[in-house]
Structure 1
């Protein structure tokens, strides 16, 4: 009932322990708190919170328009609904190094297990679009040092994302990854890798956990979890996938209303009311106060 029973510090500790095993962990992207709970129910190891999804949720493009307050607030809403660890996209850290430091502490207070800070210029662009620009190495390292110095819980994961491969090539990405690890990054997110061989090259260069981004319609081929595990990846995310699936279903539903005037033909595609109530634990609230839940829902056809 209400929120997760596992404390943020315990989530972080357990996450770090599992990450240290080298076993690959699957982090689908949650587009709201309810979808985070569904990710947990389906047996995944963690939840990812995408900056692109948070922007889209506000009807905005992913170009650095969201604020720290908006992102941390939404991150708190999502992570408190699940026992799973959650990693959040913190873009470029929302400003200069002091802003990056504040970002880390805000995300700690919001209950996140970790974040990633990228090396794009601000305002940033979606990692799989052309025309990206990255900051110089000194600025990128300064951001990561500020993040590491600011955290209060040593188990809070500071991940460095680098977008330099799309600008200067794979060799530059490898060099930057090494430098970011030397600056204190706990993990590396090499964005927009085009092949397993590119992932392997980063894996050979650094000895920290690596994240693979399996976003659709982007620069990367959509590899399987097994393929990514075989080349040494430790976390795989599908950042926007659930939002895309949900919005695709919404489009088809609206088209059905327009075409037929009814959604009777789409009932088998919907989450049943009973399944929704199970997911949000209506019965738990009933045990607390029967005035909140005093009816049952069967899976019989809707009248």
Structure 2
């Protein structure tokens, strides 16, 4: 029964694993999961963690990534995903969904949802996708208030609070470095610098900042796609692939739907589909059947 209806690993243990992983010397790879089933696949393949992207949540709801989603929606998705995986889950908490007090509440809600950490960014609220132009960041002092409130609200010391700065593309890398150092001094466990472009820029940031760093390897954005091995060699501690699985799935879904529309059947798409037997394997159908048989093993007597 252990690990069947929910993860076998406690939220506290997942947070401890995340915290330890950041100083292990091995880069922690967190692919994005757009639903709990993908999170189960990420664990089965052997990654170190699962990421929940705000951009993906927005897209899944049919909305652009411009700060329209709510804390309740984000925490609900985070809880659904954290429930099914033994891996730590890092979630995108945008700007904290409001003022500093809202950022503090966000930490408590996400802790209760069972996720292992979150990141807060220094964009003006409401935010926009980090790889779009036209972003604006708040003054450093405002972000320090946002971050300080979040750190003060944390109950589990292993709950990872990551500070994201979008300043590199607006104020320059040196300004982003200054912000990162200030955010670390305010209690951030991990720094996420958005939209660095080249390996040289990642190297420059790593050389200037002593705290653990997270890289964002999103497709079709401003950053060159750098391998996890290279990022590890540079000295990065974690990497996210936020939208990759959604993009793969949506491309396949659109291709298939257009084929059905044009031909009237999905018959020639079967070799592009996950087979029912593989889905059942991932869902552990057989174990559920065994559990069901063990529980409902009584016989009915008479007509009562």
* Distance (Å, rounded) in 1 between the aligned partners of 2:190 and 2:142: 18
1:1-303 aligned within 5 A: 1-290=4-293
Is the CA contact (8 Å cut-off) linking 2:190 and 2:213 kept in structure 1?
yes
Is the CA contact (8 Å cut-off) linking 2:100 and 2:146 kept in structure 1?
yes
Runs of 4+ in 1 over 4 A off after TM superposition: none
* Distance (Å, rounded) in 2 between the aligned partners of 1:269 and 1:168: 45
**Shift of residue 206, structure 1, vs aligned partner:** 1.8
* Distance (Å, rounded) in 2 between the aligned partners of 1:90 and 1:268: 38
- What whole-Å deviation, never above 9, does each CA across 1:113-152 have from its counterpart, x for those lacking one? 0000000001101000000000001001111111111100
Q: Which residue of 1 aligns with 2:301?
A: none
Aligned residues: CA RMSD: 1.3
**Shift of residue 22, structure 1, vs aligned partner:** 2.2
Q: Which residue of 2 aligns with 1:301?
A: none
* Distance (Å, rounded) in 2 between the aligned partners of 1:209 and 1:63: 28
Is the CA contact (8 Å cut-off) linking 2:23 and 2:237 kept in structure 1?
no
Of 83-92 and 169-178, the range deviating more from structure 2 = 169-178
* Distance (Å, rounded) in 1 between the aligned partners of 2:200 and 2:118: 26
**Shift of residue 291, structure 1, vs aligned partner:** 9.9
Which runs of 5 or more structure 2 residues have no equivalent in the other structure? 296-304
Is the CA contact (8 Å cut-off) linking 2:91 and 2:117 kept in structure 1?
yes
Is the CA contact (8 Å cut-off) linking 2:43 and 2:85 kept in structure 1?
yes
Distance verdict in 2 for CA 1:284–1:77, change over 3 Å: same
* Distance (Å, rounded) in 2 between the aligned partners of 1:243 and 1:85: 20
SS at match of 1:122: coil
Is the CA contact (8 Å cut-off) linking 1:174 and 1:201 kept in structure 2?
no
- What whole-Å deviation, never above 9, does each CA across 1:38-80 have from its counterpart, x for those lacking one? 1001111100000000001100000000000110011000111
Is the CA contact (8 Å cut-off) linking 1:215 and 1:241 kept in structure 2?
yes
Which runs of 5 or more structure 1 residues have no equivalent in the other structure? 293-303
**Shift of residue 247, structure 1, vs aligned partner:** 0.2
* Distance (Å, rounded) in 2 between the aligned partners of 1:42 and 1:123: 36
Alignment length (residue pairs): 293
Is the CA contact (8 Å cut-off) linking 1:181 and 1:206 kept in structure 2?
no
**Shift of residue 171, structure 1, vs aligned partner:** 1.1
**Shift of residue 290, structure 1, vs aligned partner:** 3.5
* Distance (Å, rounded) in 2 between the aligned partners of 1:223 and 1:6: 31
Name the TM-score, length of structure 1 as normaliser. Answer: 0.95
